[in-house]
Amino acid sequence: MSLLSDLLNLNLSDTTEKVIAEYIWIGGSGMDLRSKARTLNGPVSDPSKLPKWNYDGSSTNQAPGEDSEVILYPQAIFKDPFRRGNNILVMCDAYTPAGEPIPTNKRHAAAKIFSHPDVLAEEPWYGIEQEYTLLQRDVKWPIGWPLGGYPGPQGPYYCGIGGDKAFGRDVVDSHYKACLYAGVNISGINGEVMPGQWEFQVGPAVGISAGDELWVARYILEIAGIVLSFDPKPIHGDWNGAGAHTNYSTKSMRSDGGYEVIKKAIEKLGLKHKEHIAAYGEGNERRLTGRHETADINTFLWRVANRGASIRVGRDTEKAGKGYFEDRRPASNMDPYVVTSMIAETTIIWKP
């Protein structure tokens, strides 16, 4: 095993200029991540300088067997925290050979929204709070829970300290550092209300980069060999679900008088509540019940400092008269390209 470990930790830059690029894309379910590696002749820092590549879409439920070729377009580059050196992770989106985005390519439509002149002028910032549940490998039951049983009730676990409250901290801290190494703008971590559930935050990130960074952060978490769930309600009963609360602001909201802009944006989100809910993740109806720090899925409600609202405005924003707000509706399994671009489209481009 020591020989294998030595080989895994080889520093290629000692002997060659060649680097390994791991191309990452989203599979046919819209949540499964896929990747494969190729050798480059030297370091690359601009995704437009990377070659396009192809894969067998019939094996990812993204193309028929008789016409299975799908083309990967490199879109964003991150440092590889596993291979290190000059090796890179490459976030891609997927197209037909004719250059048309395939149905599961949500990045393409998002990029169009983020390139709209009105959106560019507003410089939308996002901070996404990604919740997830760590699972025991063989039984798919939350880490730290007794097999087939339940821990003590919620209360001591949120931001809890100690081996009987914070389960999986070594995984969480390793992921935190790996994301920082990769260049993901991860801004924090914390234990969540349900034991075995954690959260990391990505942002502030501008426009399309919020989606790129969150997907790569998910990839880093999963490729480390960890078993986890992004299900919005992994355990039924009196246990919190898992969301991806999305904090949002525009240049106008961050400027003097921004609180009025925020209120108008929230009003527009309310008018499109059903459309947003439909795009905010699968199984969200099991989470948005009006309990466990959620608003009922059929109700749109915004409040200051209320975590039982659809949209929460912070006390600091209210006091300053400018700032940001939090959309608490997205589920943990949401697609960040869809959610971030939809918020921008509704609040900036759409005219009621």
Q: Write down the pLDDT at residue 348.
A: 98
Q: Write down the pLDDT at residue 60.
A: 97
304 contact partners, CB below 8 Å, separation of at least 6: 312, 313, 314, 315, 318
Question: pTM of the entire structure?
Answer: 0.96
What are the CB-based long-range contacts (under 8 Å, 24+) for 249-254? 249/124, 249/125, 249/323, 249/324, 249/325, 250/122, 250/123, 250/124, 250/125, 250/347, 250/348, 251/121, 251/122, 251/123, 252/122, 253/322, 253/323, 253/324, 253/325, 254/125, 254/322, 254/323, 254/324
Residue 61 CA to residue 105 CA, distance in Å, equals 13
Residue 252 CA to residue 270 CA, distance in Å, equals 20
Q: Write down the pLDDT at residue 185.
A: 98
Give exposure, 89-106, as e/b (b: 16+ Cβ within 10 Å). Answer: bbbbbbbbeeeebbebbb
Q: Write down the pLDDT at residue 352.
A: 84
Q: Write down the pLDDT at residue 325.
A: 98
Q: Write down the pLDDT at residue 226.
A: 81
**DSSP class of 92:** E
Q: Write down the pLDDT at residue 148.
A: 86
Q: In a structure prediction context, what are the per-residue pLDDT tens digits for the chain, which is 352 residues long?
A: 568 888 888 888 889 999 999 999 999 999 999 999 999 999 999 999 999 999 999 999 999 988 899 999 999 999 999 999 999 999 999 999 999 999 999 999 999 999 999 999 999 999 999 999 999 988 889 999 999 899 999 999 999 999 999 999 999 999 999 999 999 999 999 999 999 999 999 999 999 999 999 999 999 999 877 899 999 999 999 999 999 999 999 999 999 999 999 999 999 999 999 999 999 999 999 999 999 999 999 999 999 999 999 999 999 999 999 999 999 999 999 999 999 999 999 999 999 8
Q: Write down the pLDDT at residue 286.
A: 97
Residue 287 CA to residue 232 CA, distance in Å, equals 6
Q: Write down the pLDDT at residue 309.
A: 96
Which domains are delineated in the chain? 3-104 (3.10.20.70), 117-349 (3.30.590.10)
Q: Write down the pLDDT at residue 306.
A: 93
Q: Write down the pLDDT at residue 3.
A: 84
β partners of residue 325: 248, 313
CB 119 within 8 A of CB 207: yes
